[in-house]
Structure 1
């Protein structure tokens, strides 16, 4: 019996006659057994269940520190407990953008609305860094005992005193000069500091010199990122949305100091159609042996997910008034043996799990449009169609349309 390639990712070409594959709220998986019934199957993506409700229009950041969990929702910093309760720890400036959060063993550093805050973990005391010391900070990083703060719209990042996020010596200021771009974003990876301009990037490391951090020879990449919060650690490397002076809107991963394309023409076509891509927000997570790069576009109201295990893309969405909008998550951490995600549309923090069959009480609709059946324009006859579906795990009868 001829097989139809029902399972797969999304690939909607410029011409639907060429390819119109569409996958929403499924993820493909290749069978690793020796003699599977099918080489590839579709599994349902996880649903959402409310874990705790925070006050605020959206959850702007969430982080795990050892066995503790902290989140920023609206203007408030919270600690989230394992039983789903939460404790207010202080207030921060809210500009509507994600809050950048990093930690040492003794402090949590937060950049929110351009202002930097330090939470002492032993006492839960929140300290605001004066604007005369740090101002207009967009992203913070922690490497080798030092906190680093990126000044938005400049080529400058600042370095803290060792193990002290409240102290920022005036001499520990570095200006990136290997390319003319302002530095848009930064991230740590393998004790190295990656700095992204719009069209180029460069990598620094702790050299032990008086300057502390300096450029690694041969580390300049001719690819950058215009999306501050699209940069994420996953699969032992870095992923980001970016481009170069010739054009934007491709998704990359680092292979050493070489950018490697992971988007495809169909994904790039979709991204280029969005009026705004600089607001893209990414988070990584790993579940069921799949490493996922989740890329949320607020203005476009879309969520795309890249699966490292299959090298495929698919969409995720939330069903509202019969239409899909972006998946209700924009930040993630794994803590209390749970995947917790923060909602962009409320102060809700959800547990994301394949055991949840809806999205916090809303129906979780799944769609798969299979590829074209083509035999080089020859007639193909099918006397019957058999779809192999495992039933009994959801509503009876299953909700198919």
Structure 2
């Protein structure tokens, strides 16, 4: 057998008690230099960049050309420009922003707030109705009226001026509008059961009109669950409609010619058990990650590899980050804005990297004389202290992950020991249903995984 398949995408399925394949704080990347043409890379550690209020960080916005590229943050119930407080934002819902070069609108499910150079103001909206989302396109601010099919457009370049007659209805289905995104200069109106596309008309009286014959019979579950992503948009929606109080099966979709599900059954099982949902995205070294934050964890979908992974924070039940913009990430509990650092620890704490490999057996047995990991040995940046002699740990299971043996350490190589053989010997005998091996690194050192092999020949430990 000698090469073992290892999980390059996070997978967990409780129904049927299938073995779990976690990919924790690592992500897959195509690597033509490796035998399997793929490698698991570690995410960088988090370092604090800025403290903004007491938190949590509920929303972030930054764009070149908008107020000099300033970072706007909703921390708790306060809007900040960089670290300067601007005023209170009403509402406890998902935060949305919309900006022209000279004005920023902020909404959290109730009133609209407008920031200009002179300061922050509450916007008078027709009928004093609540708004669930705001957007900006081609000189117009867009607002979705709560609990209805109505969406309103502002006066040109003026997010503080709204005429009660300047609205339209998304009429394909009798569902309420819950979100809006802008894709290719087209207004995408997302209801709870349908999605419509409204391009510009060039007419000042009716600036947008629906594209006839283009309607998706899917919708988003709640505000904050649809975003522009990978030159299109993504959303969390129901697989099919159900009659309350039944709960619909949920799926993560990326729109193409039709909405295409990108979540596997394991992710969808987690969606069905979550008490909250949010989507956001960020780009790191060519990987455009779609971030799915649920009440029980955070999973990321990579547009390049089409694989999922999971990001976690030591000592917490979820990743400490819950939103991001402009290379910074907002904390879910306090006012910290984080950035990816050069090291491999989260603010000096543990950054666990973990994955699994294995083989199935339907009969017979296999004795594991050795188990080898192909990784980047000898890359520790430290010449003294505990991280100068880092280790990688392995444990094994003979019952598809129901129970595990003890963790066993082997050296990951001191600085410059690039040819260190990463190997565990005398691992015992495995019979049906097979062998499952889990690997982890908690020392603050670089760590990749390119291959796992069993019963390889030749080569000693000290090379």
Indicate whether the TM-score tops 0.5: yes
**Residue 349 of structure 1 aligns with which residue?**
337
Give 3-state SS (helix, strand or coil) of 2:87's partner. Answer: strand
Residue deviations 1:320-372 (CA, integer Å, cap 9, x gap): 1xxx51112222112xxxx101111111111134x2422233322222122x4
Instruction: Give 1:374 shift.
Output: 1.9
CA contact (8 A) 2:55 2:334 kept: yes
Distance change >3 Å, CA 17–CA 61, structure 1 → 2: closer
Gaps of 5+ in 1: 81-85
For the pair 1:289 / 2:286, whether they are aligned, the reply is yes
Residue deviations 1:198-249 (CA, integer Å, cap 9, x gap): 2222111222343222211122111111131121112111011112316431
The 5 Å alignment of 1:1-400 reads 2-14=2-14, 18-31=18-31, 33=32, 35-66=33-64, 67-80=69-82, 86-95=83-92, 97-120=93-116, 123-130=117-124, 135-209=129-203, 210-243=205-238, 244-245=240-241, 247-256=248-257, 258-274=258-274, 276=275, 279-297=276-294, 300-320=295-315, 324-334=316-326, 339-353=327-341, 355-370=342-357, 372-391=358-377, 392-393=379-380, 395=387, 396-398=389-391, 400=393
Give 3-state SS (helix, strand or coil) of 2:270's partner. Answer: helix
CA contact (8 A) 2:95 2:224 kept: no
CA contact (8 A) 1:281 1:296 kept: yes
CA contact (8 A) 1:306 1:313 kept: yes
RMSD after superposition = 2.1
Distance change >3 Å, CA 377–CA 172, structure 1 → 2: farther
> May I ask how many residue pairs the two structures share in their alignment?
376
Structure-2 separation of matches of 1:94 and 1:53: 22
Once the two structures are overlaid, the 10-residue window that deviates more, 147-156 or 12-21, is: 12-21
Structure-2 separation of matches of 1:15 and 1:328: 28
TM-score, normalised with respect to structure 1: 0.88
Instruction: Give 1:16 shift.
Output: 6.2
Structure-2 separation of matches of 1:362 and 1:381: 38
Give 3-state SS (helix, strand or coil) of 2:115's partner. Answer: strand
CA contact (8 A) 1:116 1:134 kept: no
CA contact (8 A) 1:28 1:41 kept: yes
Instruction: Give 1:382 shift.
Output: 3.6
CA contact (8 A) 2:94 2:223 kept: no
Residue deviations 1:252-305 (CA, integer Å, cap 9, x gap): 11113x11111112211222233x3xx3111111112111000111xx231111
